[in-house]
Amino acid sequence: MSETFLSAEEVAELTGIQTGRRGKTREQLQVEWLRTSGIPFWTNARGRPIIARSAIEGRQATEEQPRKKWQPKVLAVG
């Protein structure tokens, strides 16, 4: 199990879509459901929705540190 992304089984559990129907694949139906639900995801080359675990758990993937503003060394103190 990946710590970063949901597995195919977890995506199926989240969306409630286990199989394709009405001429669409399972992945196509899952993508439609995720879009209407507002859950952020990427689609890989095979059409499978890839969902970051942090998008579901409500935590940010990375904590951004405040950046220091550039200052020339001539003006730097110390």
Phi, psi angles (nearest 5°) of residue 51: -120, 125
- Examine residue 68 and state whether it is found in any structural domain, yes or no: no
Q: In terms of Cα–Cα distance, which of 49, 52, 55 is closest to 33?
A: 49
Residue range(s) defining the domain that contains residue 28: 8-57
Alpha carbon distance 54, 46 (integer Å): 22
- Examine residue 69 and state whether it is found in any structural domain, yes or no: no
User: Bigger pLDDT: 7 or 67?
Assistant: 7
- Examine residue 72 and state whether it is found in any structural domain, yes or no: no
pLDDT of residue 74: 84
- Examine residue 39 and state whether it is found in any structural domain, yes or no: yes
Mean pLDDT of 60-75: 73
State the pLDDT confidence band at 60, using cuts at 50, 70 and 90.
low
How many structural domains does the chain have? 1
**pTM metric for this prediction:** 0.70
